[in-house]
Amino acid sequence: MKEDKVSILIVDDVPENITILKNLLGTEYKLKAAVSGKKALEIAKQKPQPDLILLDVMMPEMDGYEVCKILKSSEDTKDISIIFQTSNNTPLDEQKAFELGASDFITKPFEPEVVKSRIKTRVRVLEERKKLEKQLQTLNDAKALPISEKEIEQLIALGETNEIEFKSTLRKNLYTQKNEARIENQCLKTVVGYLNCKGGYLLVGIDDDGKALGLTADNFKNNDKLLLHWFNLLKETVGADLIKFIESEILNYKGEQILFVKCDSAPKPVFFSRDDEEYFYVRVGNSTQSLKPREMLAYIDNHYGSDR
């Protein structure tokens, strides 16, 4: 991070406030500025993008809330961290900011040490995220399965994220001790979410804490039977033509065997289809969510309507 400075975009319609923040942040960060929401959106889309945006709320024509909403709804800018800055510091203002996806909230007039502290906290988060992305890229560069046990351990150590998810079993409900389609669906939904986003990893036989449980609870006669069952599920729910974007293998980890699934991003929208029902899933944070029709159309238009 020292060699590659964090880039911060300061957005405020009052030039004096921009000057104050520039003087306060000094040479520690790479700084850009915009005096309107429209200009901020233009800069945010330019490469290289800012890592962090200090966004004023009260601005003419387009306020900070609207700017944040647009940024977070775009696949290209949704991951940029946003800190709101405003003289409105009521609980409702803060609630609205966080609901829109802001990372933090700074009140005016600026308290220099508070501003520095809040930004340093976000920078630490950005450093961890970049570290995670680098580790994931290293694993993505290794296209063929299987991967080594050490690489699996490194992946699990990252915990569940937008691109990593653990499932204890493939079909067995550990509470009822029965095989249930609902449990299978949880795994399949994750895969569909990955296909509709940037891809990712599904590890079956690993609990939420990253502990290896293995696959014995699913009670398949052998590994071939388990993989055959899994491939049939994929054909049924996503279609045979999309299986080429999914790599599945049973690997050894910590004395147990786990189902390791690596998904690439699909070139077209993928629907979860089972029991005469269709759903459109995407990854949001470390979970998989179904989009409503209007949300789905907007996502597809944004995600597949241009080069990714």
Q: What share of the chain is helix, strand, coil (3-state, %, to 5)?
A: 40, 25, 35
pTM: 0.61
Question: Burial level of 178, CB count in 10 A (0-12/13-18/19+)?
Answer: exposed
Rounded to 5 degrees, φ, ψ at 178 are -125, 150
3 state DSSP class of 273: strand
Q: What is the model's pLDDT at position 138?
A: 61
Task: Name the pLDDT band for 145 (thresholds 50, 70, 90).
Answer: low
Q: Of the residues 71, 104, 134, which one is the last residue of a structural domain? A: 134
For residue 88, being part of any structural domain is answered with: yes
pLDDT digit string, tens, across residues 252-284:
999 999 999 999 999 999 999 887 788 999 998
Residues 280, 236: one domain? yes
Residues 196, 98: one domain? no
Structural domain harbouring 203: 146-304
Percent of the chain scoring above 90 in pLDDT: 57
> How many structural domains are present in the chain?
2
Q: How many angstroms from the chain centroid is the CA of residue 13?
A: 31
pLDDT digit string, tens, across residues 154-189:
889 989 999 999 999 999 999 999 999 999 999 999
Query: Do residues 205 and 168 touch, judged by C-beta distance below 8 A?
Result: yes
Residues 125, 264: one domain? no
Integer CA distances (angstroms), 147 to 91, 213, 250, 262, 277, in order: 48, 19, 11, 11, 35
The whole-number average pLDDT for the span 14-34 is 91
Residue 84: CATH number of its domain:
3.40.50.2300
Which own/partner pairs from 140-143 qualify as long-range (CB within 8 Å, at least 24 positions apart)?
A: 140/199
Query: Do residues 13 and 35 touch, judged by C-beta distance below 8 A?
Result: yes
